[in-house]
Amino acid sequence: MAGFSGVLRLSDLDDFIAPSQECVKPVKVESKTGRGVIQIEDDTIHSTPKYEKAKITLNDCLACSGCITSAEVILVNQQSHEEFYRVIAENEHECKRKVVVVSLSPQAILSIAAKFSLSPDECTQKLAGYFKKIGASYVFDINLARSFSLLEASKEFIERYKRKDSDPKAFPMLASACPGWICYAEKTHGSYILPYISTARSPQQVMGALVKDFWAGKNDISADKIYHVTLMPCFDKKLEASRDDFVNELCSSREVDCVLTPVELEQMLIRDKVDLSQMTEAPLDESLSSGPRLLSHPGSGSGGYAHHVFVNAAKELFQQDVMELQWKTLRNADFREVTLEVAGEVVLRFALAYGFRNIQNLVQKLKRGKSPYHYVEVMACPSGCLNGGAQVRPESTSSTKELISQLETTYSLLPTTSIDSDSRINMCYSEWLGGADSEKAVKLLHTKYKAVEMSTNALGIKW
């Protein structure tokens, strides 16, 4: 690292995948104009230029495999609550004013609700009240976005099933909503594993398209005049929002400008001297929200991808109405499977694989051609999104296991939204996207992945 700025030095990276390494990305540093140190030699005046500090962003880390990180310990300029406060402060100046929109994930809401001993609905409306108090104009939940994500994943699965005999990489189809898993796949297994991964966007990024394309158009607001913030249970969602794929091309504006997490929200509440339990409630804004109550989708606390795809595939492919899925635990509680039998033959075999121990076993089976599954809901965190790396940690009087159990129970008791009865979905497909199979629908509801070539010098690893 000789010759590089100390700002580029990343040490003590905490990750499931690789030992601590130093960032190897070279950064060109531009000199600053202005006064520097004056040296006089042989009657000649030399001005030593000042240099800007070199900075790395999450986007740099996505494009470089010099290190593999879980994004939790990287200093990110554009993905922090400090940046959020900066934009809020700038809104006091009319010439720089932006419309601040906040989108809330149910997993993050439940984590905060547990911290402050609030019901899910109370917490949702108190969060809306808090964000509006400090400068947000609109607050939505992301259930509508998740409905699109589930529908597109289900449609993709049906298409893969119909071509399974001619496409050796049609199955297993692997869920794409977890950015930690996606980053690991791109950097560690590259082009081998990527064809198996669903192209459906995650709810966060569908919400980005809804806010900066659909909602912005409806309200005659330019996308670059909107500052879109999401509250998510995972630091890796910052990685996802930083991808170049998720930019509004008309005005080069990121669809999600800033990702906040429950642990950061705790810091914000302390900074603002706010007791959330005493906060005045405010309703969610209606146009993109599911309603006055916090809702969920049936299935796992990670969004119910396997559940939705399984139920719809059983109905469409085999005319079977499946109401309840009977999951069977295999190696551990984070690896479960469910099957559908028709005439004594297993026609669908789905799995949940949470945590890198199970993910690595899944990948090894795939490489040996031994995976029996048609679909796998893959999440990097053990226990899934309710145990995301940025969720509020348990109090000293309870354990992580107890907290996760509490959150899972609370999530299971949330009323569920019905995708079939949500009239906004058909309206969006027809009026906004120009049809479910249109070019615009593919562009705004799907994405692509790319292998990242390994460039690390193994001798440079810090053990």
The CATH number of domain 81-145+202-292, selected from 2.120.10.30, 2.60.120.10, 1.10.10.10, 3.40.50.1780: 3.40.50.1780
Q: Which of 197, 457, 391 is nearest to 305 (CA)?
A: 197
CA within 13 Å, CB half, 400: 10
DSSP string, 320-373: ----S---EE-SSTTEEEEEEEETTEEEEEEEEEESHHHHHHHHHHHHTT----
φ/ψ of 279, rounded to 5, equals -70, 140
Continuous H helices in 74-135 = 81-90, 106-115, 120-134
The one-letter amino acid code at 345 reads E
Which residue has 């796992």 as its token pair? Answer: 300
Pull the structure tokens for residue 219: 């309200």
Provide CATH code, domain 150-200+298-413. 3.40.950.10
Round to whole Å and give the CA distance between 296 and 190. Answer: 33
Cβ atoms 426, 129 nearer than 8 A: no
Q: What residues pair up with 50 in beta bridges, in sequence order? A: 32
Q: State the residue for tokens 């809306």.
A: 128
463 residues of the chain, pLDDT tens digit each:
333 233 223 333 333 333 334 444 444 445 445 444 444 455 555 555 554 544 545 455 444 444 434 433 444 556 778 889 999 998 887 667 899 999 999 999 999 999 999 999 999 999 999 999 999 999 999 999 999 999 999 999 999 999 988 888 889 999 999 998 998 888 887 788 899 999 999 999 999 999 999 999 999 999 999 999 999 999 889 889 988 889 887 778 899 999 999 999 999 999 999 999 999 999 999 889 888 889 999 999 999 999 999 999 999 999 999 988 999 999 899 999 999 999 999 999 999 999 989 999 999 999 888 999 999 999 999 999 999 988 998 887 788 899 999 999 999 999 998 898 888 999 999 999 999 999 999 999 999 998 887 654 444 444 3
Say if CB 200 and CB 152 are below 8 A apart.
yes
pLDDT in the model for residue 42: 52
- Going through 194-334 in order, the beta strands assigned E by DSSP cover 226-231, 247-248, 253-254, 258-260, 328-329
Contact 64, 452 (CB under 8 A): yes
Predicted TM-score of the model (pTM): 0.83
Number of alpha carbons in the 13 Å side-chain half-sphere of residue 361: 14
Q: How far apart are the first and last CA of the chain?
A: 16
Give me the residue spans of the domains in the chain.
6-69, 81-145+202-292, 150-200+298-413
Which DSSP symbol is given to 453?
-
Q: How far apart are CA 153 and CA 299, in angstroms?
A: 15
- HSE-CB for 124 with a 13 A CA cutoff: 24
> Which runs of E-coded beta strand occur in 206-325?
226-231, 247-248, 253-254, 258-260
The C-alpha atoms of residue 120 and residue 198 are separated, in whole angstroms, by 31
Please report how the helices 106-115 and 262-271 are oriented relative to each other, as an axis angle in degrees rounded to 10: 50
Angle between helices 262-271 and 81-90 (to 10 degrees): 50
